[in-house]
Amino acid sequence: MSSAVHSTEEYDMDIRSLSSSHRHPQDAPYVHKVGLPPKQNLFKEFKATVKETFFADDPLRSFKDQPRSKKFILGLQAIFPILEWGRSYSFAKFRGDLIAGLTIASLCIPQDIGYAKLANLDPQYGLYSSFVPPLIYAFMGSSRDIAIGPVAVVSLLLGTLLQSEIADPAANAAEYRRLAFTATFFAGITQVTLGFLRLGFLIDFLSHAAIVGFMGGAAITIALQQLKGFLGIKKFTKKTDVVSVMHSVFASTHHGWNWQTIVIGVSLLSFLLFAKYIGKKNKKLFWVPAIGPLISVILSTFFVFITRADKDGVQIVKHIEKGINPSSVNQIYFSGDHLLKGVRIGIVAAMIALTEAIAIGRTFAAMKDYQLDGNKEMVALGTMNIVGSMTSCYVATGSFSRSAVNFMSGCQTAVSNIVMSIVVFLTLQFITPLFKYTPNAVLSAIIISAVIGLVDFDAAYLIWKIDKFDFVACMGAFFGVVFASVEIGLLIAVSISFFKLLLQVTRPRTAILGKLPRTAVYRNILQYPEATKVPGVLIVRVDSAIYFSNSNYIKERILRWLMDEEELVNKSGQPKIQFLIVEMSRNQATLYWIFIILYKLTYYNGVSKLVYDPFAFGAAVTDIDTSGIHALEELYRSLQKREIQLILANPGPVVIDKLHASDFAQLIGEDKIFLTVANAVAACSPKLMVEVV
């Protein structure tokens, strides 16, 4: 019993030793005040802010204290990473890259022919886009695993946007191609600019939930578009929404469907889905779904050739132009009405292509535990699209299906892209005439089997469980693409992402804190029902920086908390509220240990990426502007009229500096600013800290 009393007395002395930011004659212990950060030179402060914003990764670190010749070499390696990893390249690595390159080439050739049709271009343009861009990327890209070429979503997006400007691509083929090359050129310019100016964070404004919904909707739209070739329909709608497509399909039921085409399509789609199932069940058989499309093309082409099914209405590719990419420099619009159209389409295509490529690159980089430089990636992707636009290519980016096959095939470096490019080159030079009798149905089946994986039900369900608002964003993007158009779906995705961001900024979370039993820790009473309020004291935590956009809301929300608490106090007969404590940060030690635990959990469980929401931990008031200080002044005056003292707990360095600069600290009294909530409570009502419940 005596030991318990003794420990309680020691605890009481410890609390009282931290209970005030000034000396009490009766207590005498010295207590640390909330520290003011040292004054910084304005230029140095601005320089540090710019560096942290745009150069947080310190890209010039390796250049420090190096001779000029070494800096030149490092500069070349920064632009062309192949010069760095190429020095340690070996035959063992080449063997892995050779196998991977041949495998993804067998997958990309039939896909490229189909994706070109999605973009309303002739088949050879899809192959062109898997020849030049992968070569450029192999020299400039920093990812070892990403496979470059046309992808379904970007092809559909580009085709839809171009068709909105040029209604009939077949009748105006030359003009349509020129606009496609112009859009590709400005897509590359956009990507290079973002990388050079280190503005890659802009692509993060499209939230994960919106991307999941957009990709899922695009996959459904792409699959529905393939019904034209899958069913052998000749007259098909130019629109992409599900209502128009299904109306076009059923309107052609009696006279437009071709049963031979349907048999070919269904048979080969079943084969491709079965091949994917085998690869999924047994990882060692990853090559089965990889070569499935090429086998399908070979078998169906041979079947149509020997049966001459094309004479019975089976639509075939007919002609793919032989030879490597012709120059298209003189076909890019640099003036006239089409210039602005190309710029607009290019910017949209660039952002979607970047989002997909960076996400893929980061995923595989995390799996192999190496660093991916996002800004270098943007420069590499942009450069390859600029060069591609001058060599008859349309927008290329990282393909998830090919990158996954590349990874599983054992690729070691970007040389696998060079191998793939060489195979495509040989195909263009010698093999394209053999595709003459390839049925369109097999291309449709290949595209359908490829895009099915983009509909991620597990991710959508996880989003529903975690955040209902995110799920609304996901479904909004999905239904926008499916029932309206790709542009509308993309607009909805971006709009909802921005709206959520604005909502979190303008309506930050606040919480009433209570004291946890047998501790001096104060936490949200909704999260910890056992936490008890301190009689006569209202403790409110603000979970956001206080800016012009939310300062008025925060002030009014705190006053509403106070009104609610006063009503509750009056009904229950408890002591009147005399102090309002505004908690402006969380305990840093607690956050430190939380992150240490999370890091260990993710590391030992093989999780490649840790994503956290700072609101889940209660983000600190990291900053405040003049509107925020003005709101605090109004709050202080409102509290004075109620005879309630305003107290601040642990403002951060930026905040406390601005509070002193604005004289707000002097207004409320420097002795009313405390290091912790426990200190503030002890100073407000010392007798409440004597007992540890």
Q: What confidence tens digit (pLDDT) does each residue in 353-406 have?
A: 998 898 888 888 888 888 888 888 999 999 999 999 999 999 999 998 899 899
Residue with the larger pLDDT of the pair 397 and 591? 397
Residue 36 has a pLDDT of 78
pLDDT at residue 250 tops 50: yes
Question: What is the percentage of the chain residues whose pLDDT exceeds 70?
Answer: 89
Distances (CA, A) of 325 to 321, 406, 422, 430, 562: 10, 25, 13, 14, 72
DSSP state of 329: G
Distance CA 468, CA 474 (A): 10
Name residues whose C-beta falls within 8 Å of residue 637's C-beta, 6 or more positions apart in sequence: none
Residue 49 has pLDDT above 60, yes or no: yes
What pLDDT sits at residue 32?
64
The Cα–Cα gap between 207 and 192 comes to: 22
Q: What pLDDT is recorded for position 48?
A: 75
Using pLDDT thresholds of 50, 70 and 90, give the confidence band for residue 343.
Answer: very high
Q: What is the pLDDT of residue 157?
A: 93
Confidence band of 7 (pLDDT split at 50, 70, 90): very low
Q: Read off the pLDDT of each residue in 645-673 and give the average, rounded to a whole number.
A: 93
**What does the pLDDT read at residue 622?**
87
The whole-number pLDDT of residue 208 equals: 87
pLDDT at 301 over 80: yes
Strand partners, 439: 316
Strands (E), 385-527: 397-398, 510-515, 522-524
Residue 342 pLDDT: 96
pLDDT given at position 6: 42
Kindly report whether the global pTM for this prediction surpasses the value 0.85.
no
Does the pLDDT at position 110 exceed 70? yes
Comparison of pLDDT for 450 and 25, the residue scoring more: 450
Asked whether 477 and 210 are in contact (CB, 8 A), the reply is yes
**Per-residue pLDDT at 359:** 85
Higher pLDDT, residue 536 or 54 = 536
Spatial CB neighbours of 98, under 8 Å, sequence gap ≥ 6: 416, 419
Alpha carbon separation from 277 to 288, 410, 448, 656 (Å, rounded): 9, 20, 15, 60
Measuring CA to CA, which residue among 403, 418, 412 is closest to residue 97?
A: 412
- Summary mean pLDDT of the chain: 86
Residues 21-49 have a mean pLDDT of 64
Q: Each residue of 403-433: pLDDT tens digit?
A: 989 998 999 999 999 999 999 999 999 999 9
CA atoms within 13 A on the CB side of 491: 6
CA–CA dist 683, 584 (Å, integer):
17
Cβ neighbourhood burial of 469 (10 Å; 0-12, 13-18, 19+) = middle
572-591 mean pLDDT: 77
Nearest to 184 by CA among 378, 341, 342, 324: 342
Q: How does residue 586 score in pLDDT terms, banded at 50, 70 and 90?
A: low
pLDDT for res 550? 95
What does the pLDDT average to over 661-684? Answer: 91
Pick the residue with more confidence: 689 or 155? 155
What local confidence, expressed as pLDDT, does residue 271 receive?
96
139 CB-side CA count, 13 A:
9
Q: CA nearest 629: which of 584, 676, 675, 572?
A: 584
The mean per-residue pLDDT over the stretch 566-580 comes to: 91
Of the listed ranges 250-259, 295-304, 373-382, the least confidently predicted one is 250-259
- Of the candidates 672, 662, 674, the one whose C-alpha atom is nearest the C-alpha of residue 633 is 662
Dig out the tokens for 356 from the structure.
């997909």
pLDDT at 513: 95
Is residue 164 exposed (0-12), middle (13-18) or buried (19+ Cβ within 10 Å)?
middle
Nearest to 635 by CA among 569, 561, 526, 536: 561
Joined tokens for residue 590 = 């607690």
Phi, psi of 643 (to 5 degrees): 60, 45
Exposed/middle/buried for residue 407 (C-beta within 10 Å: 0-12, 13-18, 19+): buried
How do residues 137-195 score in pLDDT, each as one tens digit?
999 999 999 999 999 999 999 999 999 999 889 899 999 999 999 999 999 999 999 99
Q: pLDDT band at residue 612, thresholds of 50, 70 and 90?
A: very low
Residue 545 has a pLDDT of 92
The answer on pLDDT for 12 being more than 60 is: no
Between residues 606 and 324, the one the model is more confident about: 324
Higher-confidence position of 272 and 600: 272
Q: Which amino acid is at 109?
A: I
If you average pLDDT over residues 534-560, what whole number do you get?
94
Tokens, residue 94: 């080449």
CB 659 within 8 A of CB 651: yes
Give first-to-last CA distance, the chain, whole Å.
16
Cα separation, 189 vs 334, in Å, equals: 13
pLDDT at 202 over 70: yes
How is residue 145 annotated by DSSP? S
Dihedral, CA atoms, 532, 538, 541, 542, nearest 10 degrees?
A: 150
